[in-house]
Amino acid sequence: MAKAKRVKDEWKRLTVQAAAFLLQNPKLHHFFLGTIEQGKTKAVCVPGLNCYSCPAAIGACPIGSLQASLSGGYKKPAFPFYVLGFLLLFGLALGRWICGWLCPFGWVQDLIYRIPFFKKLRTFPYERFLRWLKYVVLGVLVIGLPLLSAFKGVLVPYFCKYLCPSGTLFGGIPLAITKYSSQTGFAFWWKVGVLAAILLVGLLISRPFCRYLCPLGAIYGLFNRIALVHLDYASGKCVDCGKCEKVCPMGIDPKTQFNSAECIRCGRCSRTCPTDSLIVRFGLRMNDDSHKKSTI
């Protein structure tokens, strides 16, 4: 009975993820019209990787906004005070909890991995080295090359143009199907290939984009050690059953890596733990072996 309850609890998170997608993309009629929402709220960032060009989006992706500031998308290059302040605020408050609960493309990957197809892989040899790629993506595609393009007087959002699978899935493909099918070129089909590869790998490995490529996850992960949403571990209660490690969607060991930049605070380890040794909390950190079950 307890095991069945834990499975149901995972659907609660999936429901929150679906609701977060709808809150960030409420203008669904644009999908059918082949148009993009142009309201004033588009100047405001949303926490997750939700593309500005998604027809239904009412906000902007912080990664896209960061590139636009650095490369002169707002008429001239500017220091991204607003975007960095936004990332600092949400990073300090939530860390990678955003990845586990609010990011639309994280939700898609969770659904893809649930498809009973192929043998699932928790991890593989030397996989930890691939996790550094997201920091390379952040440094090169999000910061370095857009800054370089600014010196040439052009706007090139390299990450959005050549890699972002969220923009392709929720923006590029719907618009190509409806209104702009004649305008698809190499860049579009390249990104469709990137998206297809990520989704195919996602059948085998949970959240491959989050693990290896997402620059937004790389930023939020830097705050995991100090964010208000954190994972508490009570070593005195742990019986080393290994259940938490088996259910972690990011392929880490929660009891030894509860402060890891890879942890998305999804709470699966907490709901699986038979002794309540792992608890997702919001607030100041405490070393308390008698803590109670969190509802986060």
**pLDDT single digits (tens) 153-205:** 777 889 999 999 999 999 989 888 887 655 578 888 999 999 999 999 999 99
User: Looking at residue 76, what is its pLDDT?
Assistant: 65
- What distance lies between CA 143 and its chain's CA centroid? 18
User: Looking at residue 181, what is its pLDDT?
Assistant: 59
User: Looking at residue 3, what is its pLDDT?
Assistant: 43
CB 66 within 8 A of CB 57: no
**pLDDT single digits (tens) 99-132:** 999 999 999 999 999 999 888 999 898 999 999 9
**pLDDT single digits (tens) 10-36:** 889 999 999 999 999 999 999 988 889
Q: Which residues contact 30 (CB under 8 A, 6 or more apart)?
A: 36, 37, 55, 56
CB 58 within 8 A of CB 41: yes
Domain boundaries, the chain: 2-221, 230-282
User: Looking at residue 289, what is its pLDDT?
Assistant: 44
Phi, psi of 281 (to 5 degrees): -125, 160
Strand locations in 12-131 (E): none
- How many Å apart are CA 130 and CA 146, to the nearest integer? 23
- How many Å apart are CA 28 and CA 125, to the nearest integer? 43
Q: How confident is residue 70, by pLDDT bands cut at 50, 70 and 90?
A: confident
- How many Å apart are CA 152 and CA 257, to the nearest integer? 43
- What distance lies between CA 53 and its chain's CA centroid? 17
**pLDDT single digits (tens) 249-281:** 999 999 999 999 999 999 999 999 999 999 999
Where does 230-282 sit in CATH, by number?
A: 3.30.70.20
**Comparison of pLDDT for 294 and 180, the residue scoring more:** 180
User: Looking at residue 285, what is its pLDDT?
Assistant: 67
User: Looking at residue 276, what is its pLDDT?
Assistant: 92
- How many Å apart are CA 97 and CA 100, to the nearest integer? 5
**Comparison of pLDDT for 248 and 74, the residue scoring more:** 248
Bridge partner residues of 45 (DSSP):
60
CB 167 within 8 A of CB 51: yes
Handedness of CA 80, 86, 87, 89 (dihedral sign): positive
- Average pLDDT value for residue range 65-94: 86
- How many Å apart are CA 203 and CA 117, to the nearest integer? 7
Q: Of how many residues is the chain composed?
A: 296
Collapsed DSSP state (helix, strand, coil) of residue 43: helix
Q: How confident is residue 75, by pLDDT bands cut at 50, 70 and 90?
A: low
**pLDDT single digits (tens) 196-233:** 999 999 999 999 999 999 999 999 999 999 999 999 99
- Average pLDDT value for residue range 34-40: 91
CB 162 within 8 A of CB 141: yes
